[in-house]
Amino acid sequence: MGAGTELAEAQCDSLEGRIYLDYNATTPLAPEVSQAVWDAMCQAWGNPSSSHPAGSKAKELIGSARQSLAKMLGGRPEDIVFTSGGTEANNMVIHTACRHFHDSQRETGDSQGIPHIVTSSVEHDSIRLPLEQLVKEGLAEATFVPVSPRSGQAEVDDVLAAIQPNTCLVSLMLANNETGVIMPVAELSQRVCALNRRRAAQGLPRILVHTDAAQMIGKGRVDVQELGVDYLTIVGHKFHGPRIGALYIRSPGTATPLHPMLFGGGQERSFRPGTENTPMIAGLGQAAELVNRNWEAYEAHMRDVRDYLEATLEASFGKQRIRFNSHFKGSKRLCNTCNFSILGPGLQGRRVLAHCKVLLASVGAACHSEKGDRPSPVLLSCGIPPEAAQNALRLSVGRGTTRAEVDRAVQDLVHAVEQLERDQAP
């Protein structure tokens, strides 16, 4: 784990002895990624569309990065379109599905009304909010399938039961950012594929399948052939890359529709025009290369440290005081994620973290950090009782996290809880 050790050392320098356990929110650039970004800024500054050597160098780097991302996912280079990040990629899929629905209606002469999209109740805001806006404007219908309190997953049967004649897209994240629960995307794709064959015979629109893989990449195997999806969202800063992203599309523009949201110079085959951000794309490619070479070692290390963290929490607080909010029988979860509550009055997650001197973590999704002490909607939808959900903490370990750091972080939590309980004593 040499690269992980370098990463941990670089982090400690920047955080002045704090212990960062918020890797599901973001990750620092791997040293190799920083170098790739810097080298591209210095040596590949030309416009990739220019035919002279300066432009050719930039174009070459972009092509290499595209190959690295495709290899990471088991896809083809031509299936990768670079975007500004996961939010743009997710919005592009929704935009495409609605456009494709209307195009299909015109071609067949049938009218199924407005497009309908099925997703889960625990998706990222960049799925939920665009859908809510389309519904508000009367441009689409959406069904948000609740997750099962038994499994923490959006169950395949429940998703399929939500499908209507005008359904054009099913979007289900690959792994949840708060609980770490891995969703049954491959099974869903298989079932939708079979359903599409029956729908075609009935003249109904094709249902496209999308997964947001932001949390899974770099923490486990992600293979688009096994998943069977039409679209997959890639987010660089979740796996030690820069803050850009990409979208995988199975044969874009031929087997799978893709409609641009922007119009301009024709870059990215006109699917996503705008002069390419060569340094960030080079960094994303390097981050993908690290995953290609090391993902199994990363996964094993993070699982070992996460399991040690959970054992240490139970040993330090007692099994009766710790409730693990991401343990669902029969469901797999991310190797690095521990969502738990320290039970007791006045121990809301945000208050506990505010009293920590060393630990840097969160109570849930970084995008929801302004919502005060209200329990996480994701945890509530998973059947976690409100009094436990409001005490929730999400600790997510990284490639370079050590057992010694876990020991320090848990001791910090113990001291924070002791301080809160002293302050509350009559």
Residue 313, both tokens: 């929490």
Q: Check 42, 335, 338, 367 and give the catalytic one.
A: 367
Instruction: Report the candidate in 426, 417, 411, 414 with the shortest Cα–Cα distance to residue 346.
Output: 417
Amino acid identity at 305? V
Could you give phi then psi for residue 324, rounded to 5 degrees?
Answer: -85, 120
Residue 298, both tokens: 């990363």
120 burial via Cβ count (<10 Å: 0-12, 13-18, 19+):
buried
Residues 6 or more apart whose CB falls under 8 angstroms from that of 354 comprise none
Task: Establish whether 12 is a catalytic residue.
Answer: no
Instruction: Report the candidate in 404, 408, 418 with the shortest Cα–Cα distance to residue 359.
Output: 408
Contact 170, 195 (CB under 8 A): no
Contact 253, 260 (CB under 8 A): no
What are the CB-based long-range contacts (under 8 Å, 24+) for 330-334?
Answer: 330/151, 331/151, 331/152, 331/153, 331/181, 331/182, 332/181, 332/182, 333/175, 333/179, 333/180, 333/181, 333/182, 334/24, 334/175, 334/180, 334/182, 334/215, 334/216, 334/219, 334/220, 334/396
Instruction: Report the candidate in 89, 92, 67 with the shortest Cα–Cα distance to residue 77.
Output: 67
Which of the residues are catalytic? 367
